[in-house]
Amino acid sequence: MKNIDHWIGGKPVAGASDRFGPVYDPATGAQEKQVPLASVDEVDTAVASAKAAFESWGTASLAKRTSVLFKYRELLDAHRDEIAELITAEHGKVHSDALGEVARGMEIVELACSVPQLLKGELSTQVSTRVDVAAIRQPLGVVAGITPFNFPAMVPMWMFPLAIACGNTFVLKPSEKDPSASVRLAELASEAGLPDGVLNVVHGDKAAVDRLLEHPDITAVSFVGSTPIAKYIQIKGIEHGKRVQALGGAKNHMLVLPDADLDFAADQAISAAYGSAGERCMAVSVVVAVGGTGDELVEKIAERAKGLKIGPGSDPASEMGPLITREHRDKVASYVAGAAAQGAEVVVDGTGLTVPGHEDGFFLGVSLLDKVPLTADAYRDEIFGPVLCVVRAETYDEGIVLINASRWGNGTAIFTRDGGAARRFQLEVQAGMVGVNVPIPVPVGYHSFGGWKDSLFGGHHIYGNDGVAFYTQGKVITTRWPDPADSGGINLGFPSHS
């Protein structure tokens, strides 16, 4: 059984807690590795390493930081296939999807390479006689990231490259379900010249998370995961004086108007609902069919869904891989099994799928539910699996009301040829990310990612300008230098702007 190490102080560190979690190959169902679950002392060691490294890294020149990041980007590019293979082996997603994940994470590394521009301050001269005012941004210190299983490389790269570019040091607690990619990212950062202790990876469960939230030397915490845990992270982090950025769950809707290209909409619905086995916070999980589009659209989606090739992510022919664990697979299947009793029509039932040669793998076929009542569990809950719900709306107005009634507001999309309807939608819909004929509107690296309502807790979205603001603190400096010609003297009057 292979043991996965922590990465602390620039080197691998074996777990010492005598507690381990299993790491499976989801395609076979076999436990291939085990990951140590850190004790409080081990978390403290990682934080101490980061704190010591901050003394020099926090004052390192922008030229030094960017030189490391440029080299890091080169190494990531050279090793992208290797990182993707680690993701596929532990998460299960197909190799092409894993490569896409690495590429999207690298966008933030590229953004971090522009940190000299991102950290440019502001200067106002002569605000009063020989008085200048400057605004600058400085690093926070030691910051932490807690990341989910569904993007074991991309989401960590949404956090630590920008944080360290801004001069902070970082402690990453990745998901214990697929931790190897994060360790490899840290190894490559060290190879790029990142000083020891600037980036640390400590594995663990709730005990490690709680210690990061409580530790007095952690200044800020970034989190991506489910809504209940995001709420917990925010409350507990704030209780201990942390700055918190916590991204939660989603139930993303795709509104299809009668004038839309239904073949195109069906293709995009399939890609957005079933890619990565639906284990995406930006997956489309609900299609809102407006007017008379419903029957034809459902027929087109069903036809495409039945033709998908499901198999191990290492097989180039596979279009969708397994789910992350047996327990999660069974939970997702339960929504399909109970849908008819709650009033939905089960158009495609993927719960009986078996993959020859991989009977013990965590596979689940794709499912399509039509005319789903808004009271059904399949509509109300975040399923996080390959289940697409279709609901019907008579008009655009009815559809927008339905979408805005959701407690989540992560992402949403509209499919239409009507520019006026699209413009109205992007202004009226209550969500942080909106796509117009784009089903998964994840922003590029120089814009920020984040939702509204129960999809975001804290004042900042992730990466982009919001990421820079989150990982830095502002300082305003007012200066006056006497002119050599001044005679000086005492003046007890109230200062005036003259």
Per-residue pLDDT tens for 77-125? 999 999 999 999 999 999 999 999 999 999 999 999 999 999 999 999 9
The predicted pLDDT at position 497 comes to 56
For the stretch 217-242, pLDDT in tens is 999 999 999 999 999 999 999 999 99
pLDDT band at residue 353 under the 50/70/90 scheme = very high
Task: Measure CA of the first residue to CA of the last residue in the chain; give whole Å.
Answer: 76
Residue 21 contacts by C-beta under 8 Å, 6 or more apart in sequence? 34, 35, 37, 176, 177, 203, 205
Instruction: Classify residue 248 by burial, with Cβ atoms within 10 Å: 0-12, 13-18, 19+.
Output: buried
Query: What CA–CA distance (Å, rounded) separates 12 from 333?
Result: 39
Q: Is the pLDDT of residue 14 over 60?
A: yes
All residues at 6 or more sequence positions from 74 whose CB lies less than 8 Å from its CB, including other chains: 192
The rounded distance, in Å, linking the Cα atoms of 302 and 388 is: 10
Q: What's residue 486's pLDDT? A: 67
Q: What is the mean pLDDT of residues 44-53?
A: 98
Per-residue confidence (pLDDT) for residue 274, from 0 to 100: 98
Planar angle of CA 285, 287, 288, nearest 5 degrees? 135
Instruction: Fill in the DSSP letter of residue 381.
Output: S
What span, in angstroms and rounded, lies between the C-alpha atoms of 156 and 200? 12
User: What pLDDT, on the 0 to 100 scale, is given for residue 457?
Assistant: 96
What's the rounded mean pLDDT across residues 484-495? 71
Percent of the chain with pLDDT over 90: 96
Question: What's the confidence (pLDDT) of residue 493?
Answer: 77
8-state DSSP, 310 = B
349, 368 in Cβ contact below 8 A?
no
Mean of the pLDDT values across residues 32-47?
98
Q: Which of 137, 260, 149 is nearest to 203 (CA)?
A: 149
**Do 333 and 363 form a contact (C-beta atoms < 8 A)?**
no
66, 232, 350 from 243: Cα distances, Å? 25, 14, 43
pTM equals 0.95
Distance CA 149, CA 128 (A): 55
- Could you tell me the pLDDT band of residue 485, with boundaries at 50, 70 and 90? confident
Q: What is the mean pLDDT of the chain?
A: 96
Question: Could you confirm whether 389 is annotated as catalytic?
Answer: no
As given in the structure block, the two tokens for residue 410 are 């992560």
pLDDT value at position 488?
A: 62
Element (H, E) at 201: strand 199-201
Residue 18 CA to its chain's centroid (Å):
30
Q: What is the pLDDT of residues 259-294, one digit of tens each?
A: 999 999 999 999 999 999 999 999 999 999 999 999
**Tens-digit pLDDT profile for residues 191-206:** 999 999 999 999 999 9
pLDDT score at 317: 97
d(CA 487, CA 448): 52
Residue type, 297: L
Query: Residue 482: is its pLDDT beyond 90?
Result: no
Q: What would the mean pLDDT of 332-337 be, rounded to a whole number? A: 98
Q: What number is the average pLDDT over the span 166-184?
A: 98
